[in-house]
Amino acid sequence: MRRPIVAGNWKMNLAVQEGRDLAEKIKASCGNWNAVEVVLCPVYTSLSAVGQILADSSISLGAQNLFWEPSGAYTGEVSPLMLRDVGCRYVIIGHSERRTYFGETDETVKRKFQSALKHGLKPIVCIGETLKEREANQTFAVLERQLAGAFTDASAADADKLVIAYEPVWAIGTGKTATPDQAQEAHAFIRKWLVGKWSAETAAKIRLQYGGSVTADNAATLMGQTDVDGALVGGASLKADAFTAIVRAALEAKTVAA
Ligand code: 13P
């Protein structure tokens, strides 16, 4: 049984003290719910402060990005070793906002993914189609290209540490959540691709998150889908109550189903 994983992607929100306050509240509500893995991904400048709050809880710290080199003359970048140094266990890679606004490609996603693994971080690799691509019936082709691009050189041993987030771009921050059937269809496609890439046994271990306008109201039905193993939450992760309700929905859907 895959352990569900719910991650809060705070994006470029919350100053240090606001981040601390939110982390304290989330720790108080679900800081010892071991049946669900909870990850908080604040901005770089809050990682250290939030990490200190989470240190004595079951909640993990994650970053929203990294650069693949361990150190050097790369002004403005942050390395995987530096993320480890402040206590990160996870890192989001290839989020659609990074692909759209910061020129990330399947190639840079691959390099970041490999660097994360090499330096002991667990990657949450984001993939997903735009509305135009969905309407042109290209969803599976886009997912296939993004998966192949990220994981060309990856081995089955890497797969164990991997989380994949399916985030349809048209659902991010729009309030237009994918229906549970749409989410399950895409996740089943991803799982099938992973079976072809590695094996049924390996594919069965990889956790697939859904992301895109997940709320306290729609989380339970999304988590109820066979291949949806958790959520990558943006807007709703900025409110302790809403985020906790999403974590609870994952807990209930997956432990009742187990
Ligand atoms: P929203 O939950 O705000 O739609 O954002 C989703 C997302 O991009 C998480 O990475």
Domain that holds residue 104: 5-257
Q: Which of 50-64, 113-127, 194-208, 243-257 has the lowest mean pLDDT?
A: 243-257
Q: Whose CA is nearest to atom 5 of ligand 1?
A: 234
6-56 per-position pLDDT tens digit: 999 999 999 999 999 999 999 999 999 989 999 999 999 999 999 999 999
What is the CATH number for 64? 3.20.20.70
Q: For residue 220, is pLDDT > 70?
A: yes
Q: For residue 256, is pLDDT > 70?
A: no
113-117-118 Cα angle (round to 5): 115
Alpha-carbon 52 to chain mean position: 21
Distance (angstroms) between ligand 1 centre and the Cα of 8 equals: 9
- Site to probe by mutation for ligand 1, drawn from 5, 6, 9 as the one with most ligand atoms within 8 Å of Cβ, is 9
User: What DSSP assignment string belongs to 66-121?
Assistant: --SSSSSS-TT---HHHHHHTTEEEEEES-HHHHHHS---HHHHHHHHHHHHHTT-
Mean pLDDT within 59-70: 98
Residue 235 CB less than 6 A away from ligand 1: yes
Q: With pLDDT > 90 as the criterion, what percentage of the chain qualifies?
A: 94
Question: Crossing angle, helix 240-257 and helix 16-30, to 10 degrees?
Answer: 30
> What's the pLDDT score for residue 159?
87
Single pTM value for the model: 0.97
Minimum-distance ligand 1 atom for the alpha carbon of 165 = 10
Distance CA 254, CA 250 (A): 6
Reduced to 3 states (helix: H, G, I; strand: E, B; else coil), residue 210 is strand
Residue 212 CB less than 6 A away from ligand 1: yes
Q: Whose CA is nearest to atom 1 of ligand 1?
A: 234
Distance (angstroms) between ligand 1 centre and the Cα of 199 equals: 30
Contact 114, 106 (CB under 8 A): no
Residue 172 CB less than 6 A away from ligand 1: yes
Distance CA 126, CA 93 (A): 6
Q: How confident is the model at residue 257 (pLDDT cuts 50, 70, 90)?
A: low
Average pLDDT over the chain, rounded to whole? 96
The residues, any chain, with a CB within 8 Å of residue 208's CB and separated by 6 or more, are 163, 164, 165, 166, 187, 190, 191, 227, 228, 229, 230
Contact 126, 165 (CB under 8 A): yes
> What's the pLDDT score for residue 64?
98
129-154 per-position pLDDT tens digit: 999 999 999 999 999 999 999 999 89
Minimum-distance ligand 1 atom for the alpha carbon of 11 = 10
The residues, any chain, with a CB within 8 Å of residue 84's CB and separated by 6 or more, are 119, 120, 121
Task: Write out the catalytic residue numbers.
Answer: 95, 167
Q: What would the two tokens of residue 195 be? A: 């079976």
State how many domains the chain has: 1
- Site to probe by mutation for ligand 1, drawn from 213, 222, 246 as the one with most ligand atoms within 8 Å of Cβ, is 213
Distance (angstroms) between ligand 1 centre and the Cα of 239 equals: 13
148-191 per-position pLDDT tens digit: 999 998 999 988 899 999 999 999 999 999 999 999 999 999 99
206-37-208 Cα angle (round to 5): 30
Q: For residue 233, is pLDDT > 80?
A: yes
Residue 214 CB less than 6 A away from ligand 1: yes
Q: How confident is the model at residue 1 (pLDDT cuts 50, 70, 90)?
A: confident
Q: For residue 258, is pLDDT > 80?
A: no
